Structure 1
Amino acid sequence: MTERQIRLFGDPVLKTRSAEIVDIDDGVRSLVADLLDSVRLEGRAGVAAPQIGVNLRAFSYNVGESFGYLLNPEIVELRGEPELVDEGCLSVPTLWFPTMRHPEATIRGIDLDGTTVELSGTGVLAQAFQHEVDHLDGLLYLDRLDKPSRREAMKQVRESDWF
């Protein structure tokens, strides 16, 4: 498998709700391998399938000692008062903005065997879970910013050399 190129802000796949995975076939197994290869690079906490151009509900994560993937994830519980945390995104390179996230998150999905998996995380891992599920729902973290921050973010996007 291989590390895949990350789609950037403006690509329609990033604003489209991803389809549920119904059959775990060779294509899905290949997708998971590519997601894992793509998240291994330093500085990557997570990669969602839409970020590599695939409109399916799958993502990989790599935070500290936690490394893996989840298919058809759903957030089952958010704990703690939401707080502003610095957040960036591979699909919006070089931009970081304070974003409201819960400090603890539990998600549930399936693995490649179709077995139900439940994962919990705190801090950056909880933030990554929330961020990646947002991607699968067609949201970017920029969508969660307050109006003044979003206005500034969009200005920086327009002025960036990658847009």
Structure 2
Amino acid sequence: MIYPIVAYGDPVLKARAKDIPTDLPAAELQKLIADMYETMYYAHGVGLAAPQIGKSVRLFVIDSAPMVEDDEDDNEPAETGIKRVFINPVMVSETGEEWAFEEGCLSIPGVRERVMRCPDIVLRYEDENRQVHEEAFSGMTARVIQHEYDHLEGVLFTDKISGFKKQLIKGKLTRIAKGEAKADYRLRFAGQRGR
């Protein structure tokens, strides 16, 4: 099932998501994961966190391959994108010299800003079979993971930009919060009932 994407202004995007309990039926979890991938691909995203479909649980999916392909540099070793599910993730470390990259978000259509992030991370998480992993990621994949992880913490990429930049986009954000936004996928605005 393709969910509508929750738009900027909905309180679910600013709340810290809750852990997914171990007793959640496997079939229910697999359905949620499949629906999230379907929704992400439909909206042409490279990552999607559960709060973005109105579910305040610690789960996100990514497919960083399109980002890695777009960022290839002839002088750098090729980075391989990954398609992965992250359940109840915990950020163990973020290291290296921060670098800027222009980010966007399915929940904030039409807004893109440069965000500083560390190039290397270590994340502890459960996979779709509830097996625990602790793994290092770097480059664009690390950036996609950090962006989606922030969603689980109630943080949006617009929270990470300068006060000056926030002032410049304030009008756009206000319009999105009021339901005055267009995207090539369905949006759900604050106050709307969604499935």
Task: Could you tell me which runs of 5 or more consecutive residues in structure 2 were left unpaired when the two chains were aligned.
Answer: 66-80, 182-188, 190-195
Task: Could you tell me which runs of 5 or more consecutive residues in structure 1 were left unpaired when the two chains were aligned.
Answer: none
Count of residues paired in the alignment: 162
Residue pair 1:107, 1:129 contacting (<8 A) in 2 also: no
* CA shift in 2, pair 1:147/1:12, >3 Å: same
Aligned to 1:63: 64
- Which protein has greater RCO, CA pairs closer than 8 Å, 6+ apart? 2
Identity of aligned residues (%): 31
C-alpha distance in structure 2 between counterparts of 1:102 and 1:150, whole Å? 21
Aligned to 1:137: 153
Q: AA paired with 2:4?
A: Q
After TM superposition, the score normalised by the length of structure 2 is 0.76
Matching of residue 156 in structure 1 with residue 156 in structure 2: no
CA-CA distance at 1:38 after TM superposition:
1.9
Matching of residue 88 in structure 1 with residue 67 in structure 2: no
C-alpha distance in structure 2 between counterparts of 1:34 and 1:63, whole Å? 18
Residue pair 1:20, 1:57 contacting (<8 A) in 2 also: yes
CA-CA distance at 1:141 after TM superposition:
0.7
Q: Aligned ranges for residues 10-159 of structure 1 at < 5 Å?
A: 10-22=9-21, 23-25=23-25, 26-41=27-42, 43-64=44-65, 65-159=81-175
Structure with the bigger percentage of strand: 1
Aligned residue for 2:141, secondary structure, equals: helix
C-alpha distance in structure 1 between counterparts of 2:108 and 2:46, whole Å? 14
C-alpha distance in structure 1 between counterparts of 2:174 and 2:130, whole Å? 42
Q: CA RMSD in A?
A: 1.7
Point out the structure with max Rg over C-alpha. Answer: 2
After TM superposition, the score normalised by the length of structure 1 is 0.90
